[in-house]
Homo-oligomer: A and B are copies of this chain.
């Protein structure tokens, strides 16, 4: 039987194991950590995830989408909380399109179960990858409990061990002419759990992603199944009026929340006590190339770790699986050919999803509080409703389609310019009637389509 090795049993590694077993491989997964299904491992380093089109597509391709749907909560739009408590709602798409909140821990456990139940994938825990012979498909391992050193050889090896990938650090980075960069944004994040009401009910609307946009920083909240919300504060580490390094006491934490997130503080007056429940973490963009060498390929965050602001990290990783699988069929499992094409077509999309994520940070923390931006998005959504085949907003291309990320990025930027110009030329404002907006849209597409 053909043998494959996967380093890392995270989201992408576990899903990729399902794909490989389906393709007839015997799969051995080595995971540095212990089994999160048995011991409680802090999810401190993870915000809730948002599954969207690309993620579902990959899961459905393996017929496991419905199992994951059972543990996910649809969010149909964003709810913005202004300083004065005013709320603004903005749908993500048209026709009830949604992104889905899912806990990283829950989905990871489920995907490991699914991989194992195929009967052809085995996960070995507490096995750290300390090096690799890339040409010969051999990984070097150290058991973190016993200290035992071992090696494992297989026909093909996949590094799905995340942003700080050990196989990338310990093997790929040492090959000649390997381009590599790790860059941290100047902001960090801290997770906060907003508990359910005593009756188990949600403290906020459940089917929306909540944002408290404050220009240079923001708080967000995603729903959990138990009535709680996983909230995340993104903010500069230092050098700004509001930054993590200034919040050095419970008093300062209280004052900060009372001042900038008053309606959140009302819901969670014990915020200062909960402040240290989760660590302060940093946010990196990691780029590298090549993604493959010899018998080894990097997938997911190991190849293109991004900041989380477009909710696309997991989706992009799952799409790597779809793409690699389609190339396996196209090239009849000729791995050198598969790897070459995989990295050629996926690298520009890895770069693009990172650029998109950086762009969307500014959108989330700042632009969503800007009436001009909300108007622009309203017009775009209406265009997409009236001319669904002719107009696709950037957010929709990214979240509700599998249009390549690089196309979504370049086309989205182009469209932004056109829409802004149209709004200006036609004197559209937030007061313009829906009929007038429709008129101007019909006029625009009438001309465009004629061309």
Contact = CB atoms under 8 A, between A and B. Distances in A.
Contacts of A135: none
A77 to B, nearest CB: 34
A177 interface: yes
A373 interface: no
B176 A282 contact: yes
A225 interface: no
Nearest to A164: B174
Nearest to A284: B177
A179 interface: yes
A302 to B, nearest CB: 16
Nearest to A181: B181
A182 B178 CA distance: 8
A387 interface: no
Nearest to A184: B177
A222 B199 CA distance: 82
A179 B182 CA distance: 6
Interface residues of A, number: 13
A180 B182 contact: yes
A248 interface: no
Interface in A149-202: 169, 173, 176-184
Contacts of A180: 180-182
A420 to B, nearest CB: 34
Nearest to A183: B179
Given A176-B282, A179-B184, 14 more contacts: A169-B173, A173-B182, A177-B184, A177-B237, A177-B282, A178-B182, A178-B184, A179-B182, A179-B183, A180-B180, A180-B181, A180-B182, A181-B181, A181-B183
9 pairs of A and B residues whose beta carbons are closest in the complex: A181-B181, A177-B184, A177-B282, A180-B182, A176-B282, A179-B183, A179-B184, A180-B181, A179-B182
16 contacts: A169-B169, A169-B173, A173-B182, A176-B282, A177-B237, A177-B282, A178-B182, A178-B184, A179-B182, A179-B183, A179-B184, A180-B180, A180-B181, A180-B182, A181-B182, A181-B183
